[in-house]
Structure 1
């Protein structure tokens, strides 16, 4: 019931605002906008213009566990290239930061360092056109980590994030609906562990997001994420789930620079090892935030 209340309030508010805004100003002459970054943690289908290059700093932070003080973040230093209208590549290192004290099951840690490397390929499956307001993109993002994203401990971690990104133009140049399907297997090896093998786990998820264009260069919105965690790379053993809800913001600063931000709070969740709790703070954080600044050239 609480999930529906939070999700319904966020989506209902965005729809109400869009109705008023659409009557107040005619957006028919606004230019088309790339939808990849307008939904916060939810990714849109946008690929970009052929030959376009981009450099960005993309930071995702996670805050709060059941006790103590917990902060962890990864900042990707991304180089993005679009060789044609159907394919896009990203790559680069990322910097990891951890500030952990008094959290059960985690060592106290305060550190900043190179966390690993990542790459991403996006392929446009279905482009938006006059006959269809729907667009679909498939993305694959392999990552290697030398620092565990949760604890900050030294590890060898391999992860593959697979997403189906969809968005729908509900009102031309004004209101967009986005959704992601996520599957993310990963394996972690502790190099200091004696005789330890690879610990396998996986995560699945689905999201829904609305983005309202309140000005030619500004979109505001809200998103909802439902995530499930498993032991085993193939969703072998279910361990818990979490629901996140929060606002989003996208601002095109000029023709070549933009910033996007999002904040999510966990509003519901469960743990199979601790069935009496109302949130899942074992596999997930209490809050998460995203800030991306990008320059195209």
Structure 2
């Protein structure tokens, strides 16, 4: 079977994404020159989908957040019915010691139902899966003179189940993000970009084997205010998977796109829903090298639902 001909090379997508944000920034400058320079009253921390905003809470604020990411649909392992669904809800409590720094410890859970999937054992379970601590520091806050924010976030995570196969293990990972967002049009349009490095080390229980892997990804989104409380926008993500914790050997890539909805339920409460489907992908494994998608390291569909309340 021949591989499909793509209209562009996947490696060009991160550059294209950054170029699009740069063009949006040029529009922002024109909008400001036209006289639109109202203060930014929107908190971008939970505004975007899989991309995250740079804002932190005010000193002394607290927040309870439920954040669930679901992954669905992988390659069938043989004839007959098959299915893959896995969700990892995290319930967290955020505190803000200063205006620029937040700490968010959380408890992670796992629910999955997999059957007849290539390289994945049949399994149905629901369990407590570990914990995490999200540390975030905002280096630059958006202002009228410079309407962009910059932040760095690190989230060490311990899990008891491997994320793809659902096998028992001691898994240590570190989601590290460089985040940039900007107010493109005052009170109307915002953009965000994340560069993410996520190394992981898993020690399988019983077998004593150690597996090291890492992901490198770039995500970006633009969100528009539709009403006073409703925001909508598209999101694009380019992900690359590697063997080894330090991007040692390239295994494959995938590109996801989908819509994001953010609804401000009340002054203190929010709901964000993001869906993403894999548009293109490539698995370097010889068994799947001629397939259009990468369904070994990634699922075909992702869904993120995040809601919370601050006080």
Superposed pair shares fold, TM > 0.5: yes
In structure 2, the partner of 1:168 is: 182
State the partner residue of 1:55: 64
Q: Does 1:32 align with 2:44?
A: no
Is 1:296 paired with 2:302? Answer: no
CA distance in 2, matches of 1:122, 1:199: 28
Equivalent residue, structure 2, for 1:224: 236
- Paired with 1:272 and 1:151, the residues of 2 have a C-alpha distance of 19
Q: Quick check: 1:145 aligned with 2:159?
A: yes
Deviation, 1:173, is 1.2
Shift of residue 29, structure 1, vs aligned partner: 7.4
Task: Say whether 1:72 aligns with 2:86.
Answer: yes
SS in 1 for 2:68: strand
In the alignment, is residue 239 of structure 1 matched against residue 248 of structure 2?
Answer: no
Counterpart of 1:250 in structure 2 is 262
What are the residue-to-residue correspondences of 1:190-229 with 2, within 5 Å?
190-193=204-207, 196-229=208-241
| 2:27 equivalent in structure 1 | none
Unaligned runs of 5+ residues in structure 1 are 16-21
TM-score (norm 2): 0.86
Give the structure-1-normalised TM-score. Answer: 0.90
SS at match of 1:181: strand
Query: Runs (4+) of structure 1 moved beyond 2 Å?
Result: 1-5, 27-31
Aligned length: 282
Q: Distance in 2 between matches of 1:177 and 1:28?
A: 16
Shift of 1:94: 1.1
1:75 & 1:30 partners in 2: Cα distance? 35
Structure 2 gap segments, 5+ residues each: 1-6, 25-30, 77-81
Instruction: Tell me which of 140, 165, 171 is aligned to 1:126.
Output: 140
Compute the displacement of 1:198 (Å): 2.0
CA contact (8 A) 1:30 1:216 kept: no
1:111 maps to 125
CA apart distance, 1:246: 0.3
Please list the CA deviations of residues 186-227 of structure 1 after superposition, one character each: whole Å capped at 9, or x if unmatched.
10001210xx34211110011111000111211101100000
Q: Which protein has the bigger strand share?
A: 1
**Backbone CA RMSD of aligned residues:** 2.3
